[in-house]
Amino acid sequence: MKLRRVRAVARKEFLHIVRDPRSLGMAITIPMLMLILFGFALTVDVNHVPTVVWDQSGTEASRELVSRFAGSPYFSILSYEQDYEALERELDTRRALVALVVPSDFAERIRSGRQAPLQMIVDGSDSNTATIAIGYAEAICRTYGAELTIDALRRLGGPSIRVPLEMRPRVWFNADMESRNYIIPGLIAVIMMVIAALLTSLTVAREWERGTMEQLISTPLQGAELILGKLIPYFAIGMFDVLLAVLMGEFVFGVPLRGNVGLLFAMAAIFLAGALSTGMFISIVTKSQLLASQVAMTTTFLPAFLLSGFMVPIANMPIVIRAITHLVPARYFVLLLHGIYLKGAGLAILAFEATLLTLFGAAMVLVAYLKFQKRLT
């Protein structure tokens, strides 16, 4: 392998990128737009659930209970209705996701020491939000019920009661429980996998379609020199994209980077080399830019988005799907990014994921090289 030939191929590819605004826009603009779009739009936090109330009791006790819901960050009271038809209309039109009904004998039951049932009607079409909202409502009601019991015993002159079990959670790594701090690092992995594969999936296919590949084959240029020369420009652009993504995560989304910056970029470089080689392999096999871009999108975006643990916890997947996720390199890069970003972990903890990611990068570079060697012979 001669460095002069690699440099010549890399220079040729750089010139093509600079002279083609679409390629340059795809390489830099699209990742930033995707990061902004998904970063602001994608969230798993359940806050301000739209709620309507029918307070049949209209007493101080019922108003106190409703105020607990209104004062919670998890519920937002839209209106107070007077019949079930109005509640059904609000739920059917999706103006509200939760309807709270306080029975007319609510205060009387509390005064007499009996259980006071409440009715909570939830729109279950969004099962995740409905489940979380029910959990929040149950917590509010339990807290309110415990306070009523303690107050009743105090008025009767009974002994002071202490809660026998008190849980004081201490949240590590993401103390504010912001889903954005979890989503943005994983989103970087998904975007880089898709963009890197798409960029290089067009390189060799473009040479075949334009008829310039035969000229390259006829030169003394070796397969390794051609592949390396074509990867270098996109590798540089990809690392620049990683830098922009890290800066946006810090200054736009406010995601703290607690770990080693050098380790982050080292792991990103290894992942990027593997992703670029994946696109190169697709380009070599298909020989068509249109087909290559479609195959690259199908084989990179869907697995990286769905099977990396970025959106759906891998532990919740069926056992067969969990086994398949071990073949998705984005899974290991997402774990590395979460460990570096949120936990400040180093290689002592992330050695297993780093090793598998390195094996993926080396394997894809080798596969692309061997496949192209067959085209030269």
pLDDT digits (tens, 9 = 90+) for 303-337: 888 889 887 888 888 999 999 999 999 999 999 99
Q: Distance between the two ends of the chain, CA-based, in angstroms?
A: 17
- Mention every residue, 6+ apart, whose C-beta is less than 8 A from residue 319: none
Is pTM, for the whole model, over 0.85? no
Phi (first) and psi of residue 79, to 5 degrees: -160, 165
Report the amino acid identity of residue 163.
Answer: V
State how far Cα 140 lies from the chain centre: 29
Helix (H, G, I), strand (E, B) or coil at 120: strand
Is 39 within 8 Å of 183 (Cβ atoms)? Answer: yes
49-155 belongs to which CATH class? alpha beta
- pLDDT of 214 reads 62
Mean pLDDT for all residues in the chain:
85
What is the C-alpha separation between 180 and 132, in angstroms, rounded? 18
Over the stretch 162-180, which tens digit does the pLDDT of each residue have?
Answer: 666 777 888 888 887 788 8
What is the C-alpha separation between 152 and 155, in angstroms, rounded? 5
- pLDDT of 97 reads 94
Report the relative pairing of strands 119-122 and 75-80 from DSSP bridges. Answer: unpaired
Over the stretch 246-281, which tens digit does the pLDDT of each residue have?
Answer: 999 989 888 889 999 999 999 999 999 998 888 888
- pLDDT of 374 reads 45
3-state helix, strand, coil in the chain (%, to 5): 70, 5, 25
331 against 157, higher pLDDT: 331
- Beta strands per DSSP E along 128-185: none
Q: Where, residue-wise, is CATH 3.40.1710.10 in the chain?
A: 49-155
Could you give the dihedral angle defined by the CA atoms of residues 230, 233, 237 and 238, in that order, rounded to the nearest 10 degrees?
40
Number of residues that this document lists for the chain: 377
